[in-house]
Structure 1
Amino acid sequence: MNPKVRDEVLKHRQTIIESWLESIEQFRADDLLQNISDTMYENTNREFVNKLVLTIQNGETNAENDLNQYVERLIQMGWPLNYITRGLQEFRKTTIRVLASESNQDSEHIEYFLEIEDWIDDVINVLVNQYSGSWENTVFLQKMALKELSAPLIPVFEHISVMPLVGTIDTERAKLIMENLLDGVIEHRSQVVLIDITGVPVVDTMVAHHIIQASEAVRLVGAKCILVGIRPEIAQTIVNLGIDLGKFPTKSTLKKGIESALEMTKKQIVELEGK
């Protein structure tokens, strides 16, 4: 930044800060900020604006490092990107307005405007890149964690396995379910597989299609499939959508499904008399 403009910003920093704090209050009604306490909002605003002013003082390299660390903290605290960008736009207007009011020369107004525009654009680029990178990394780690924990095939008795499904099933996850299912059937030599959808919040046409595909794949490798965990609301949805699940048995609970699987594998659970 031009040394002359930098000195003017630092000279009037207190006026700029107080004016910005007043104008930023209009954002408090934003739905994304409703759950943030008044004290937290005020303290974050003050830290934000002081950090911006300090970037002028500390030079470009130090400024970028400070901003990266600051934005990382905001991400961890759950602050929306919209707060950052709107706050910077408001800071741009406030700074130009304050500097213009202290000068009577039109040429200085233009100089202030261009310098502040370039500075804020650089700051926005740094913050948005940091925000995007952090969120992309967070989403990647979450997807990897979900992939590691998603849809395990659990052997519960000899030749009987259970696959509990939890959460929303999309195309990518359905592919993973299919792979785990087929690999598990072969590894555990399963004759009967129970697919438990108790933890699946919604069963629509796409989810049902994936489940039907999975059951057909199980049949092709020599095992049978039982769908369990069908709640009343899920049953109603399946009927209303006209989804045909008649090709393989269904049970309302995992307990009933295991009882059926034991019968299909010619096994039974007996209660031993006390010695």
Structure 2
Amino acid sequence: MNKAIEQYIQTNREEILTKWIESMKEKSDERVLKVVSDQVFVGTSREFIDLIVSNLKDSDEKYSEKLVEFAEKVVRLAWPLTFVTDGLREFARIAFEGMNASGHVNEENRMEIIYDFDNWISPMTNEIVNVYSSTWERTVSLQKIALQELSAPLIPVFDGISVMPLVGTIDTERAKQIMESLLNGVVRNRSEVVLIDITGVPVVDTMVAHHIIQAADAVRLVGAKCMLVGIRPEIAQTIVNLGINLNQITTKNTLKKGIESALEIMNKKIISTGGEN
């Protein structure tokens, strides 16, 4: 590393940081500034500059640790990779122009300093891209696993009776997860009656209804009865208008009524055991 570059950056660190923050605010996508407060933006920007400067003096192992921590933070803040890489180039530009204005760069050493800047910034850019990308992929993978674990659980509520509450939009991929969770849960819980609650499903179109019918058919094939509950008036109207045939599925408008019906099927009922006053 060129000693003149290192010394200039260390000496003029705060001035470079101030110019860098002003420049990046002008260049940045509005989405970057909207998702974080000004304090967080400045604080993270300072961490970024610290990371760049630490590359001048820290060991490779210590620098790598800081790089991973920073990458994880900017991924959580939803800062795009282009913002980070552009920030690195902007830092180099500000530092070079500062050196040029202060007389550290002249005709004799200009090309040497430009070459040294490039040799310093390019490998760091590549390393940041690699760490950011792997961190992003790992974060997305963990989020996907978490969503899969939380998606459509089959909940046993009484002996032989289970409920699967569905929330949110149902697409083809999620429908497959619902089917798998439903069938595995029926066998595992030894369910005889399964209630699919669509209270939290905003739209029931032909595709969603098709997936629900398939799920109900699959439940019957493993020896359990399936009931569709939580059918709101607007959903019922949509189903009728689309000509969707749910004749093979017992339907109820609320989960409460569905559970009452399921208890009747199981020849069970809830009896109050309250004592006398």
1:98-177 alignment, distance < 5 Å = 98-101=98-101, 102=103, 103-105=105-107, 108-177=109-178
- Residue 204 of structure 2 is aligned to residue 203 of structure 1: yes
- 1:4-83 → structure 2 map (5 Å cutoff): 5-7=5-7, 9-10=9-10, 13=13, 15-27=15-27, 30-58=30-58, 60-76=60-76, 78-82=77-81, 83=83
Over the residues paired in the alignment, what is the CA RMSD in angstroms? 3.2
Quote how far apart the aligned CAs of 1:242 are.
4.4
What's the secondary structure of 2:162's corresponding residue? strand
CA–CA distance in structure 2, aligned partners of residues 29 and 14 of structure 1: 24
Distance 1:207 1:132, change over 3 A: farther
Q: CA contact under 8 A between 1:15 and 1:98: conserved in structure 2? A: no
Q: Which amino acid is the alignment partner of residue 128 of structure 1? A: V
Quickly say closer, same or farther: Cα 1:181–1:123, change in 2 above 3 A.
Answer: same
Q: Gapped runs of 5+ residues in structure 1? A: none
CA 1:35 to 1:149, structure 2 compared with 1: closer, same or farther past 3 Å? closer
Structure 1 residue 196 displacement after superposition: 1.0
CA contact under 8 A between 1:167 and 1:201: conserved in structure 2?
A: yes
The answer (yes or no) to whether the contact 2:162–2:195 under 8 Å persists in 1 is yes
Residue 212 of structure 1, CA deviation: 1.3
Cα separation, 2, equivalents of 1:189 and 1:68: 46
Q: Report the more deviating stretch, 19-28 or 191-200.
A: 19-28
Q: How far does residue 9 in structure 1 lie from its aligned partner after superposition?
A: 4.5
Shift of residue 253, structure 1, vs aligned partner = 0.6
Q: Aligned with 1:155: secondary structure?
A: strand
| 1:270 Cα deviation after fit | 5.1
Cα deviation for residue 233 of structure 1 reads 3.8
Question: How much does 1:220 deviate?
Answer: 1.8
Opposite residue 34 of structure 1, the aligned amino acid is K
* Conservation of the 8 A alpha-carbon contact between 1:170 and 1:207: yes
SS at 1:164's partner residue? strand
* Counterpart Cα distance in 1 of 2:222 and 2:140: 35
Percent pairwise identity: 52
- 1:37-58: CA deviation from partner (whole Å, max 9, x where unpaired): 2233223323322432232233
In the alignment, is the contact (CA less than 8 A) between 1:194 and 1:227 conserved in 2?
Answer: yes
Mapped contact 2:230–2:254 kept (Cα < 8 A): yes
How far residue 256 of structure 1 moved from its aligned partner, in angstroms, is 1.4
| Residue identity in the other structure for 2:19 | S
Q: 1:111 to 1:168 in 2, by over 3 A?
A: farther
Q: 1:121-160 CA deviation, whole Å, 9 max, x = no partner?
A: 3222222322232333333333333444443333334443
Q: Per the alignment, do residues 111 and 164 of structure 1 end up closer, same or farther by CA in structure 2, a change over 3 Å counting?
A: same
Higher mean alpha-carbon deviation, 16-25 vs 3-12, is at 3-12
Distance 1:104 1:149 in 2: 62
Q: Report the AA paired with residue 264 of structure 1.
A: I
Take 1:150 and 1:135, find their aligned partners in 2: how far apart are those partners?
A: 22
Normalised by the size of structure 1, how large is the TM-score? 0.80
Say if 1:96 and 1:63 are closer, same or farther in 2 by CA, change over 3 A.
same
Kindly indicate whether the alpha-carbon contact (under 8 Å) linking 2:227 and 2:251 is maintained by their aligned counterparts in 1: yes
1:151-170 CA-to-partner distances (Å, cap 9, x unmatched) read 33333344432222234434
The aligned residue for residue 232 of structure 1 is: 233
Shift in CA distance, 129/110, structure 1 to aligned 2, threshold 3 Å: same
